[in-house]
Amino acid sequence: MKKAKIYIPTKTAMQSGRGKTKKWVLSFETKNTKTNPLMGWESGEDTLSEVILTFSSKEKAIKYAKKNNILYQVIEPKKSSFIIKSYADNFLKD
C-alpha cells in the first residue's frame, strides 16, 4: 500500500513572503533508494517519489488519500511567533 504525507511546505530561505505556503501538499514516501555505484547518486525504482500533488485544503487532500487507498500522515504547520520591534530596540538595555 502506498504511504504519503500531507503538509504545508515551509518557505525557502530565498523567499521573503508567504505566497507559496498556503497550499497543502501530498507527497509519497520513497522506498528502495539505492546509491548508484558509478556516480554515487541516490537513485530508486519508485517513480511515485517524483509525484507531488497540491490541494487547496487539508480536507481535500485527506479525501483524495482515502479515495485512492493511500496511507497518509498529516503534519500540522507550526505557528511562528512574530515579534514586532524597532531597530532601536537592539541597542536599548532592559
Task: Say if 18 falls within a structural domain.
Answer: no
Task: Say if 35 falls within a structural domain.
Answer: no
Residue 77, C-beta contacts closer than 8 angstroms, at least 6 positions apart: 7, 8
Task: Say if 66 falls within a structural domain.
Answer: yes
Helix (H, G, I), strand (E, B) or coil at 6: strand
CATH number at residue 45: 3.30.160.190
Tens of pLDDT, residues 11-69:
777 766 666 678 999 999 877 777 878 888 877 777 787 889 999 999 999 999 999 99
> What is the per-residue pLDDT for 77?
86
What is the number of domains present in the chain?
1
Q: How many CB atoms lie within 10 A of CB 54?
A: 14
| Residue reference for cell 520513497 | 30
Distance of CA 88 to the CA centre of its chain: 36
Task: Say if 91 falls within a structural domain.
Answer: no
Task: Say if 84 falls within a structural domain.
Answer: no
Q: Degrees (nearest 5) of the Cα angle 64, 53, 66?
A: 15
Structural domain boundaries enclosing 3: 1-7+23-28+41-78
Task: Say if 64 falls within a structural domain.
Answer: yes
